[in-house]
């Protein structure tokens, strides 16, 4: 499963390759020309080499300009990440709190009293022994989104504004996403992206592009585990790399119960679920085929066109996972635009103008967004805002690490500096959160 997330089987752009007939003719002409004019092709090859050497893979802007998906997905070194990876779990491995991370242990200490100890960790799939009354509000068992544990807010599973789609994608950043993000940019469309911490570590510049483009970022754990299967002593965190600390998260596979919700809530994370699923990430060619996904989109669009979301909007599960999922998102975008009055990031649909712990970055209100103001403010990355009273301390670790030093030495008064220093902030924030989840059995939670 993890290999699936790391592997990009085919490029997104391949969907737009020419048809076989003209292609064969082109290859034929090319071959004969090569035989007649070899020097010309040697020169062309040298020019191509020079061009590829000129590609900038050190900045968000440079990475976003790459159009060849194979080049996009070629690993690169990003010093900020490389230099700090020893403070993080191995990518795609369950995150755990590092023994010398005093801040994380302190954080866990501060919230542990609010975490129930009488809700057992789960196994997958839900066993027949689990009570049909669903005492733990376990989504995987019965799609429960209204917690039974007192003082926990309900999950967000729909866009509250009428005829509105909370538009978002799980499992990114995908290394070959430039064509998809370019498409969204061309449509003036913002979305919510639920990033996996390991993907952020592998492709930090791709993660930064989401913020630069004005999208909303939520956490989706460090290594995409079933969260309820972690014991409270082992929970882990997720970290993000983009310069802001998300206050929303989506459990992988929707696997959340009241114990995991309590942890998320204590960490200041709002749980975002869905009611409709395209199954675009679940294609196995057998029980779920490409056509199943098309049918799911069609069915959802039909439901929307029949007025089902006229009073309360919807959230549809879709993914930034691979060529297929992104291509289908592009294919169905016009129809979704047609049947919904508004497609907006989930945070915008909730009128959540402060999506991150850092108060310097805001989202527009729903009214502002639909009136054409698609992004909020971006100020100094240094200021932070206190979390809700349920979380007495900031998610950001108080330690003076290398990352903080780097952050403070950078210029702080522009959006670009926010993006450039963002990786450090998100790494730290995620790490902190990961620590807390480690104690719960899922450091993965906060490593985003
Ligand atoms: Zn996922």
pLDDT at 43 over 70: no
Q: Which two tokens stand for residue 129?
A: 């022994």
Q: How far is the CA of 411 from the centre of ligand 1 (A)?
A: 35
The whole-number average pLDDT for the span 54-59 is: 88
Q: Which strand (E) or helix (H) includes residue 172?
A: strand 168-172
Where are the domains positioned within the chain?
85-447
Q: What percent of the chain has pLDDT over 90?
A: 53
pLDDT at 287 over 70: yes
Pick from 6-10, 89-93, 222-226: least confident: 6-10
Q: In what order do the strands lie in the sheet with 276-277?
A: 276-277, 314-317, 164-166, 342-344
Q: How far is the CA of 6 from the centre of ligand 1 (A)?
A: 13
The whole-number average pLDDT for the span 285-300 is: 97
- 265, 319, 342, 438: which is the annotated catalytic residue? 319
The predicted model scores a pTM of 0.77
Helices 204-212 and 415-440, interaxial angle, to 10°?
Answer: 120
Q: How far is the CA of 22 from the centre of ligand 1 (A)?
A: 39
Among this protein's residues, is 177 annotated catalytic? no
pLDDT at 440 over 80: no
How many other C-beta atoms are found inside a 10 Å radius of the C-beta of residue 377? 12
Q: How far is the CA of 3 from the centre of ligand 1 (A)?
A: 13
Q: How far is the CA of 321 from the centre of ligand 1 (A)?
A: 9
pLDDT in tens, 362-400: 999 999 999 999 999 876 544 333 333 333 222 222 222
Coil/strand/helix, residue 272:
strand
pLDDT score for 225: 86
Q: How far is the CA of 224 from the centre of ligand 1 (A)?
A: 6
Among this protein's residues, is 151 annotated catalytic? no
Report how far apart, in Å, the C-alpha atoms of 116 and of each of 46, 90, 131, 260, 361 are. Answer: 64, 29, 18, 9, 33
Q: How far is CA 262 from the centre of its chain?
A: 21
Q: How far is the CA of 319 from the centre of ligand 1 (A)?
A: 8
- Is residue 408 very low, low, confident or very high in pLDDT (cuts 50, 70, 90)? very low
Report how far apart, in Å, the C-alpha atoms of 82 and of each of 61, 76, 152, 182 are. Answer: 20, 10, 38, 28
Give the integer Cα–Cα distance in Å for 363 and 344: 11
Q: How far is the CA of 229 from the centre of ligand 1 (A)?
A: 16
How many other C-beta atoms are found inside a 10 Å radius of the C-beta of residue 177? 28
pLDDT in tens, 74-109: 999 998 888 888 877 788 877 666 677 777 777 778
How many other C-beta atoms are found inside a 10 Å radius of the C-beta of residue 7? 9
pLDDT at 443 over 80: no
Give the integer Cα–Cα distance in Å for 251 and 124: 14
Give the integer Cα–Cα distance in Å for 80 and 420: 10
- 136, 170, 258, 444: which is the annotated catalytic residue? 170
Query: Which CATH homologous superfamily contains domain 85-447?
Result: Glycoside hydrolase/deacetylase (3.20.20.370)
pLDDT in tens, 143-188: 999 999 999 999 999 999 999 999 999 999 999 999 999 999 999 9
Are 318 and 170 in contact, with CB atoms under 8 Å apart?
yes
Q: Half-sphere exposure of 147 toward its Cβ, with a 13 Å CA cutoff?
A: 23
Radius of gyration of the chain (CA): 22
Q: Which strand (E) or helix (H) includes residue 72?
A: helix 69-72
Q: How far is the CA of 169 from the centre of ligand 1 (A)?
A: 9
Q: How far is the CA of 162 from the centre of ligand 1 (A)?
A: 26
Count of residues in the chain: 448
Coil/strand/helix, residue 240:
coil
Give the integer Cα–Cα distance in Å for 231 and 224: 16
């Amino acid at each position: 499963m993890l290999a699936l997330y790391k592997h990009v089987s085919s490029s997104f752009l391949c969907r737009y390759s020419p048809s076989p007939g003209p292609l064969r003719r082109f290859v034929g002409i090319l071959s004969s020309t090569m035989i007649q004019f070899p020097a010309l092709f040697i020169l062309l090859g040298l020019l191509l080499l020079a061009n590829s050497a000129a590609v900038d893979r050190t900045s968000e802007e440079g990475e976003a300009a790459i159009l060849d998906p194979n080049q996009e997905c070629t690993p690169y070194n990003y010093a900020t990440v490389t230099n700090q990876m020893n403070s993080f779990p191995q990518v795609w491995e369950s995150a755990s709190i590092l023994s010398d991370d005093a801040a994380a242990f302190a954080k866990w200490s501060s919230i542990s009293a609010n975490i129930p100890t009488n809700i057992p960790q789960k196994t997958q799939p839900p066993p027949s022994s689990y009570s049909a009354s669903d005492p733990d509000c376990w989504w995987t068992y019965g799609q429960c989104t209204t917690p039974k544990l007192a003082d926990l807010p309900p999950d967000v599973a729909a866009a509250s504004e009428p005829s509105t789609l909370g538009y978002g994608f799980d499992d990114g950043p995908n290394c070959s996403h430039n064509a998809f993000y370019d498409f969204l940019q061309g449509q003036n469309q913002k979305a919510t992206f639920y990033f996996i911490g390991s993907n952020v570590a592998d492709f930090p510049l791709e993660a930064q592009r989401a913020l630069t483009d004005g999208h909303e970022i939520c956490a989706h754990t460090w290594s995409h585990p079933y969260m309820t299967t972690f014991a409270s002593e082992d929970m882990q965190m997720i970290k993000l790399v983009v310069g802001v600390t998300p206050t929303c998260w989506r459990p992988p596979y929707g696997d959340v119960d009241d114990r995991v919700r309590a942890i998320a809530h204590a960490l200041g994370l709002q749980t975002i679920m869905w009611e409709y699923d395209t199954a675009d990430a679940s294609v196995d060619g057998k029980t779920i085929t490409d056509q199943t996904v098309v049918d799911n989109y069609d069915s959802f669009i039909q439901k929307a066109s029949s007025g089902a979301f006229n009073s309360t909007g919807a959230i549809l599960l879709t993914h930034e996972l691979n060529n297929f999922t992104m291509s289908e998102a592009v294919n169905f975008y016009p129809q979704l635009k047609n049947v919904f009055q508004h497609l907006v990031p989930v945070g915008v649909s909730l009128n959540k103008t402060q999506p991150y712990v850092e108060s310097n970055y805001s989202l527009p209100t729903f009214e502002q967004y639909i009136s054409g103001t698609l992004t909020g403010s971006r100020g100094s990355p240094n200021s932070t805002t206190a979390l809700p009273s349920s979380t007495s301390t900031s998610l950001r670790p108080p330690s003076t690490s290398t990352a903080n030093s780097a952050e403070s030495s950078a210029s702080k008064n522009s959006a670009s500096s926010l993006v450039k220093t963002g990786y450090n902030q998100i790494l730290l924030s995620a790490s902190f959160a990961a620590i807390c989840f480690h104690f719960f059995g899922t450091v993965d939670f906060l490593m985003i």
